[in-house]
Chain A
Amino acid sequence: GNSVTQMEGPVTLSEEAFLTINCTYTATGYPSLFWYVQYPGEGLQLLLKATKADDKGSNKGFEATYRKETTSFHLEKGSVQVSDSAVYFCALHASDGNNRLAFGKGNQVVVIP
């Protein structure tokens, strides 16, 4: 079936540090890939997306590249801010006609001033 795997555990880092959150997926065909973010007390918001291989999604300084050869969609940001503290979810939308999103478990990111 379709599934998403995110790296284990929370991520704690200092302001202006480089952030990477790993995401790999299993899917048939050519899924679309997403990163959603959940700020404290708020709902899930779309951060960025990529719909085909080698596409790069970007928003608010975050980037992720759809790598079909490694089935990955890692999230990166060059210089994090305290306001980036949130939970980040990787998700896929399969191309098999199934309209659901399949989510990873999420990663809590804490940015310390």
Chain B
Amino acid sequence: GAGVSQSPRYKVAKRGQDVALRCDPISGHVSLFWYQQALGQGPEFLTYFQNEAQLDKSGLPSDRFFAERPEGSVSTLKIQRTQQEDSAVYLCASSLYSGGAVYTQYFGPGTRLTVL
């Protein structure tokens, strides 16, 4: 079946622009995660949704970062007034419900954001 898809795959923004990154999770997956991966580093957690509820946003680096999943399926990560330090690969992952159990997180290919 189809995996996690993300769009766009590449995004170049001028400093100060707003960007929106999209994630389509695997159908039926309740949990959705966003991670940020800087060059040469491992992914770092940003935020977590269970259906449409954002249960954990403790990893968002500033109030310029905002994520939503209004219908419990597709999710959008929005970055306002982008800065050079926002340049990274943004990864989306989905899994079956993980309340009390550990389910595998399946990752999308990522969106590489470059802020000039």
A residues lining the B interface (CB < 8 Å): 4, 32, 36, 42-46, 49, 51, 89, 91, 93, 98-106
Contact = CB atoms under 8 A, between A and B. Distances in A.
Given A43-B3, A100-B33, 20 more contacts: A4-B42, A36-B107, A42-B109, A43-B109, A44-B43, A44-B91, A44-B107, A46-B104, A46-B105, A49-B104, A51-B102, A89-B42, A91-B42, A99-B56, A100-B45, A100-B56, A101-B35, A101-B45, A105-B41, A106-B41
A99 B31 contact: yes
Interface string B60-104: 000000000000000000000000000000010100001000101
Contacts of B110: 43
B91 A43 contact: yes
Contacts of B4: 43
Contacts of B40: 105-106
A45 B107 contact: yes
Contacts of A44: 43, 91, 93, 107
Interface of B: 3-4, 31, 33, 35, 40-45, 48, 55-56, 59, 91, 93, 98, 102, 104-110
Contacts of B56: 98-100
A105 B48 contact: no
